[in-house]
Homo-oligomer: A and B are copies of this chain.
Amino acid sequence: MRTLTFQRVTFTMGLPLLKRAIQDQVEKTRNFVSRSLVIGEVLSTADMATGVKCGIIYWLFGGAVRNLGGPAHVTQWLQPLQEQKHTGMFAMTERGHGSNVRGIQTEATFDFSAQEFVINTPCKDAEKMYIGNAMYGNYAAVFAQLIIHGRSQGPHCFIVPVRDEHGRLHPGVTVVDMMHKEGLHGVDNGILRFDSVRIPRENLLDKFGSVAPDGQYHSPIKDKSARFNAMLAALTPSRLAVTFQAMGSMKLGLTIAIRYSHSRRQFGPKAREEVKIIEHQTQTLRLMPHLATALALTFASRYAGTLLDEDIFRGKELVSSRPLQALVAGLKAYSTWENVSCLQDCRECTGGMGYMMENQISGLKCDTDVFVTFEGDNVVMLQVVVRELLAQYTKQYEERPVSSLLRNWAESGSDRLRTSFLAFNMDTVSNLTFLLKAVHFRERILQRGLVARIYYKVMTKKEDFFRAWNSCLHHITCLSLAHIHRGFL
* Interface, chain A (partner B; CB < 8 A): 93, 97-100, 103, 129-130, 178-182, 266-270, 274-275, 279-282, 285, 340, 344, 347-348, 351-352, 354-358, 362-363, 365-366, 369-370, 372-374, 377-379, 464-467, 470-474, 477
Most chain B CB within 10 A, of A274, A373, A464, is at A373
Min Cβ gap A11→B in Å is 24
Q: Pick from B99, B348, B372: contact of A266, CB below 8 A.
A: B99
Min Cβ gap A319→B in Å is 21
Contact indicator A280/B470 (Cβ below 8 Å):
yes
Given contacts A100-B267, A182-B357, A357-B181, contact A281 B471 (CB under 8 A): yes
Query: Closest residue of chain B to A269, judged by CB?
Result: B466
A179 to B377 CA separation, bound complex (whole angstroms): 34
A364 to B130 CA separation, bound complex (whole angstroms): 21
Known: A268-B466, A352-B370; 14 extra A-B contacts, CB below 8 A, are A100-B267, A178-B356, A179-B357, A180-B357, A180-B358, A181-B356, A182-B356, A267-B466, A270-B464, A270-B465, A281-B473, A282-B379, A282-B474, A348-B379
Min Cβ gap A43→B in Å is 21
Chain B residues near A363 (CB-CB < 8 A): 182
Contact indicator B366/A348 (Cβ below 8 Å):
no
Chain B residues near A354 (CB-CB < 8 A): 373
Min Cβ gap A244→B in Å is 20
A369 to B361 CA separation, bound complex (whole angstroms): 12
Contact indicator A366/B100 (Cβ below 8 Å):
no
A373 to B347 CA separation, bound complex (whole angstroms): 9
Q: List 23 A-B contacts (CB under 8 A).
A: A98-B266, A99-B266, A100-B266, A100-B274, A179-B357, A182-B363, A267-B466, A268-B466, A269-B465, A270-B464, A270-B465, A270-B466, A275-B470, A280-B379, A280-B470, A281-B470, A281-B474, A340-B344, A347-B369, A348-B378, A351-B373, A362-B366, A365-B369
Chain B residues near A357 (CB-CB < 8 A): 179-182
Q: Pick from B100, B182, B351, B465: contact of A98, CB below 8 A.
A: B351
Most chain B CB within 10 A, of A97, A362, A477, is at A362
Contact indicator B182/A282 (Cβ below 8 Å):
no
A382 to B105 CA separation, bound complex (whole angstroms): 52
Chain B residues near A355 (CB-CB < 8 A): 181-182, 369-370, 373
Contact indicator B373/A352 (Cβ below 8 Å):
yes
Min Cβ gap A356→B in Å is 6
Min Cβ gap A241→B in Å is 18
A377 to B283 CA separation, bound complex (whole angstroms): 12
Contact indicator A352/B98 (Cβ below 8 Å):
yes
7 closest Cβ pairs, A-B complex:
A182-B362, A281-B473, A180-B357, A269-B466, A282-B473, A130-B352, A269-B464
Min Cβ gap A145→B in Å is 16
Chain B residues near A378 (CB-CB < 8 A): 348
Contact indicator B473/A280 (Cβ below 8 Å):
yes
Most chain B CB within 10 A, of A270, A281, A347, A477, is at A281
Min Cβ gap A217→B in Å is 22
Min Cβ gap A270→B in Å is 7
Min Cβ gap A447→B in Å is 18
